Amino acid sequence: MIATDKPIVLFGGGGFVGRQVAQELLSRGYRVRIAQRVLRRASMIRSLGSMGQTQFVSVDIADSKQVRAALEGACAAVNLVGLLKGDMHTAHVIGAGNVAKAATDAGLSALVQVSAIGADLASSSAYGRTKAEGEAAVRSTFPSATILRPSIMFGRDDGFTNRFAQLISLASSMPFGIVPVIRGGTRFQPVHVGDVAQAIALAAIDPDRFGSKTFELGGPDILTMRAVNEWIASQIGRSPNFVAVPDGVARTMASLTSWAPGAPITRDQFEMLLSDNVVASGAAGLESFGIKPMPLAAVAPAWLEHYRDKGRFGSAAQA
């Protein structure tokens, strides 16, 4: 176990996962330094720790000098930076390489690289391909790094269950109540963000146990895209008409609208949906950390209720 007198640096620590990791580390008595491009996104973390337990530094992960400065006096680092659109090569490959090089030069005890299930150098998706390239960049420079590949994550403020709930609620208020489903047969293994955060924290503070290894993190259930939509609809008391979108139509739609802010799906996201997002057979996972994964059905209804017709006072759909 690493000592608690030096900070653990969280690159991208103000994001959905990063906030949970910070809370996990702070609760264990560790000091945390949030390295974030836009610091206001991390402001809520300030109240989670005691006086002097949290630090904040503005960092562009593509700037090697800023990355090195962020790691001064630290004992470990976690790279959480990830993009679903935009310059993924810079964020996932150059940025990861910068962190690994700076961590090596600074003599850090641990480095955790947060990647994703689907990371593959041969992936047709830029996201999957650059995540794999980022893993390689880290391994080549900091061989004892821990690499974690979570499946799609859920939590109270996620962009997964909330996005589908919003779309289903909107469609249910329209004539015919049609909800298009793209790649309805693609399988996911949704994992709770708190479980992932706990695994990240443990990997950072115990490199002797988890270093030099790769883990794939998934929840207890495997669900298809259509099943996810249907379950969310049942929880928010909606009965829309789910309509499968043919791949050719979906691919064309994604290609034509990828540029638009708030596009329903980008071309790269469509490419990601061509493969299942589940833990590989035989891969080490949450059980290696002693974590029993949280089922989606155990916690999601608590935040999905406000998408019901009458909010928390509305009723879920009857089976």
Task: For 94-134, write each residue's pLDDT tens digit.
Answer: 999 999 999 999 999 999 999 999 999 999 999 999 999 99
Q: Are residues 33 and 139 in the same domain?
A: yes
Helix (H) or strand (E) holding 33: strand 32-36
Inter-residue contact 11 to 78 (CB < 8 Å): yes
Residue type, 50: S
Report if residue 283 sits inside a domain.
no
Percentage with pLDDT > 90 across the chain: 84
Other C-beta atoms within 10 Å of 139: how many? Answer: 17
pLDDT of residue 43: 75
Q: Are residues 300 and 267 in the same domain?
A: yes
The 8-class DSSP code of residue 152 comes to S
Q: How many CA atoms lie within 13 A of 57 on its CB side?
A: 21
Report if residue 208 sits inside a domain.
yes
pLDDT digits (tens, 9 = 90+) for 209-258: 999 999 999 999 999 999 999 999 999 999 999 999 999 999 998 888 76
Residue type, 204: A
Total structural domains within the chain: 2
- Strand, helix or coil for residue 140: helix
Inter-residue contact 110 to 2 (CB < 8 Å): yes
Instruction: Tell me the pLDDT band of 39, cut-offs 50, 70 and 90.
Output: confident
pLDDT digits (tens, 9 = 90+) for 260-295: 665 678 899 999 999 999 999 999 999 999 999 999
Q: Which two tokens stand for residue 319?
A: 């089976």
Q: Are residues 148 and 232 in the same domain?
A: no
Instruction: Quote the strand ranges of 183-281, DSSP E.
Output: 187-188, 191-192, 214-217, 223-224, 241-245
Strand partners, 111: 77
> Given a cut of 70, is residue 315 above it in pLDDT?
no
Q: Determine the Cα–Cα distance for residues 42 and 35; give it in Å rounded to an integer.
A: 9
Q: Which two tokens stand for residue 214?
A: 């790769």
Host domain of residue 86: 8-153+190-217
